[in-house]
Structure 1
Amino acid sequence: MRFENKTVIVTGGGTGIGKATAKRFFEEGANVIINGRRENVLKETALEIDPTGKKVLYVAGDISKKETSENLVKKAVEVFGGVDVLVNNTGKFNPTPFLDHTEDDVQSYLDTIVKGTFYPSQAVIPEMKKRGGGAIVNTGSMWAIQAVEATPSSAYSAAMAGRHALTRNLAVEFAGDHIRVNAVAPAVVETPIYNTFMSEEQVAEVLPTFNAFHPIGRNGTPDDVANAVLFLADDSSSWITGIIMPLDGGVTARLR
């Protein structure tokens, strides 16, 4: 198994892409610690993936607070001996016209996405150095690369662009420490995030209309993203760092 005896932290790991990613790492032999705000969701997910409760653990907390990241790393070190892979996967998405964004709204995107990349990475890198290297994979977004008229998302896009910028900066700064930093940039992926601003009925009606938006003819799935994350975390991609990998069914290829 590719990640036998490796320890992985996945933020935003309770549902959607984060849950699928945690599950795939576990299936490949890794110890996994997931993070999110809702302890009940994390507990349920951890036990669903690993009913023994031994290899998938959780730390609940607000990722915009530095102490949450410190607690995540502390648990990884105490229970599993260190950290090999970090997946920064926190996010929020609620299409909003630019002039309708409030100050609190903008701050929430920066907290969830920018701070949610900065603080976990800052906490993990010293431990990765002790192991002789590691991999950080960030869940970015196609919206940080290409604006989509149907979904005005300026605050989200700006925050995700910050995550992309951190990806490149950390990749260069820590290449000498054998720490690789990459990101994936998904287009429309069918996750519970859409249920945060649409009803079940609206999701069922609206999401299929985006299939044709992707040249490949369908929306993405959490497993599509998880598989790419595992590739970038694996030693088979050992000469890859500082990239933003589009996972968009061909959308950005068509728009360029």
Structure 2
Amino acid sequence: MRFEGKVVAITGGGSGIGKEAAARFLAEGAKVAINGRNLKKLEEAAREIDPSGKNVVASAGDIAEPATGAALVDAAVSRFGKLDVLVNNAGVFNPKPFLDLTEADYDWYLATILKGKFFTAQAAAKAMTKNSGGAIVQTGSMWAIQAIGATPSAAYSAANAGVHAMVRNLAIELAPRKIRINAVAPAVVETPVYNTFLSDVQVKEVLPTFDAFHPLGRNGQPRDVAEAILFLASESASWITGVVLPVDGGVTAGRQ
């Protein structure tokens, strides 16, 4: 029970990696506050991972608004008394050629991915300072490390590169406050994000074609990334900060 007595806040906690991480934190003794834009979906996820309703609180809102991150932190502290871990997981993805990207597309990526993580981390760090420290884990992206022609993602990649840079800078700035910050950088992980721009039929057809893209021969699953997140948030990683950890089936190592 690595997280017995710990309180964890997770953005994008209603599905995919965030939901999986929430379930695993709960299984290891934590109490969890989850965020997402869709309140109904968020409440359904909360009931699924904690039927008792005692150990999960839902805080809905668009993480691109700084007040949403602050509200999530407040929900965790108000309900459970403190905040030990933030998993800054919320994100968006919709591959589009550079020449077709609009200002609205650009703003969408930067606001949700970079601005959202920035101000949620700030709210969490303030709460953790009152609690003598904590850990922040960001979800970055392999696309911020390596460009993939099949999925043109200039704005998405730029936003996540900012997330990676934030991790390194905040690792130095927050270390005196006993707050560690790291990131995971996943490759293709089979989550509902692909259903936001592909039909169910297209998802079933397209995603398997990326299995061979990964040297380990398969796409990632939410559990793969969640396990890495829990490690970085745990005391097992107490001497690790400022790291961007690829969780990518070997993609950034090279090609077969």
TM-score (norm 2): 0.98
State the Cα distance separating 1:151 from its structure 2 match: 0.5
Residue matched to 1:137: 137
Alpha-carbon separation, structure 2, partners of 1:66 and 1:73: 11
User: Does the CA contact (< 8 Å) of 2:57 and 2:79 recur in 1?
Assistant: no
CA drift at 1:127:
1.3
Which letter does structure 2 place at the counterpart of 1:37?
R
1:216 corresponds in structure 2 to 216
Mapped to 1, the partners of 2:205 and 2:66 lie a distance apart of 39
Find the counterpart in structure 2 of residue 163 from structure 1.
163
Indicate conservation of the 8 Å contact 2:189/2:220, yes or no.
yes
Map of 1:70 onto structure 2: 70
Provide, for residues 29-82 of structure 1, a one-character-per-residue CA deviation record: whole Å limited to 9, x for no partner.
Answer: 100000011000000000000011110111001111121122111111111111
> Residue 38 of structure 2 aligns with which residue?
38
Whole-angstrom distance in 2 between the partners of 1:99 and 1:172? 37
Q: In structure 2, the residue corresponding to 1:181 is in which secondary structure?
A: strand
Pair 1:150 & 2:116 matched? no
Task: Give the superposition deviation at 1:16.
Answer: 0.5
Secondary structure, aligned partner of 1:174: helix
Give 1:130 shift: 1.5
User: In 2, Cα distance between the equivalents of 1:73 and 1:20?
Assistant: 20
Is the contact between residue 132 and residue 178 of structure 2 (CA under 8 Å) also seen in structure 1? yes
> Which residue does 1:236 correspond to in 2?
236
Matches within 5 A, 1:47-196: 47-196=47-196
Match of 1:15 in 2: 15
2:251 maps to 1:248: no
Q: Distance in 2 between matches of 1:63 and 1:72?
A: 9
Separation (CA, whole Å) in 1 of partners of 2:247 and 2:66:
30
What are structure 1's unaligned runs of at least 5 residues? Answer: none
SS at match of 2:33: strand
SS at 1:137's partner residue? Answer: strand
Q: Counterparts of 2:75 and 2:140 in 1: how far apart (Å)?
A: 26
Q: Which amino acid aligns with 1:76?
A: A
CA distance in 1, matches of 2:95, 2:67: 30
Mapped to 2, the partners of 1:79 and 1:9 lie a distance apart of: 12
| 3-state secondary structure, aligned to 1:163 | helix
Specify the code of the residue in structure 1 equivalent to 2:124.
V
Contact 2:66 2:116 in 1 (8 A): no
Letter in 2 for 1:3: F
Report runs of 4+ in structure 1 exceeding 6 Å deviation.
none
Aligned length: 255
In structure 2, what is the Cα distance between the partners aligned to 1:64 and 1:112? Answer: 5
Residue 89 of structure 1 deviates from its aligned partner by: 0.5
Identity %: 64
> Contact 2:189 / 2:221 at 8 angstroms: preserved in 1?
yes
Q: What SS class does the counterpart of residue 165 from structure 2 fall into? A: helix
Shift of 1:104: 0.8
